[in-house]
């Protein structure tokens, strides 16, 4: 077999047959409501994403150092000795990491022993 190279893998005709057999399954109606819409309806349809719904409670926004800050849902475990008090906003003590200088990247409010809610700058 001089001059010939052997190809390994699936022959092209088998791959083509497998692809053509799979196409009808990818295009079928999957039974989800409002999933398969005609193009004219889909082009002007509005979507409601549950992740973007407004928070049910009131989220407080603090004005500190010329920036607006808001508590997020994220809670981190940090040893208290690594934080220093930097502000008191409406009765809520806010802390920053001891090596972090103004302008701070993020602040923290206590939620338990060595547990701190992250306060993010929103502007």
- Domain positions in the chain are 61-121
pLDDT at position 102 is 85
CA distance 46 to 105: 36
Most confident of 10-14, 79-83, 87-91, 101-105: 79-83
CA distance 65 to 6: 71
CA distance 110 to 90: 14
47 or 45: whose pLDDT is higher?
45
Residues contacting residue 96 through CB under 8 Å, at least 6 positions apart: 83, 84, 86, 104, 106, 107, 108
Q: What is the percent of the chain with per-residue pLDDT over 90, rounded to a whole number?
A: 24
Q: Residue 122 above 90 pLDDT?
A: no
CA distance 55 to 115: 23
Average pLDDT over residues 85-100: 90
Q: Residue 78 above 50 pLDDT?
A: yes
CA distance 21 to 100: 60
pLDDT at position 35 is 65
91 or 95: whose pLDDT is higher?
95
pLDDT at position 52 is 45
- For residue 99, report the phi and psi dihedrals to the nearest 5 degrees: -90, -5
> What band does 19 get if pLDDT is binned at 50, 70 and 90?
low
């Amino acid at each position: 077999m001089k001059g010939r190279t052997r190809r390994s893998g699936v022959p092209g005709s088998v791959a083509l047959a497998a692809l053509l057999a799979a196409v009808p399954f990818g295009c079928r109606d999957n039974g989800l409501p409002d999933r398969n819409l005609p193009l004219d309806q889909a082009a002007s349809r509005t979507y409601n994403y549950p992740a973007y719904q407004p928070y049910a409670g009131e989220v407080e926004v603090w004005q500190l150092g010329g920036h607006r800050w808001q508590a997020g849902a994220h809670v981190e475990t940090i040893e208290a000795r690594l934080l220093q008090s930097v502000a008191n906003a409406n009765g809520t003590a806010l802390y920053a990491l001891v090596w972090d200088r103004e302008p701070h990247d993020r602040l923290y409010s206590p939620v338990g022993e060595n547990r701190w809610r992250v306060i993010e700058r929103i502007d």
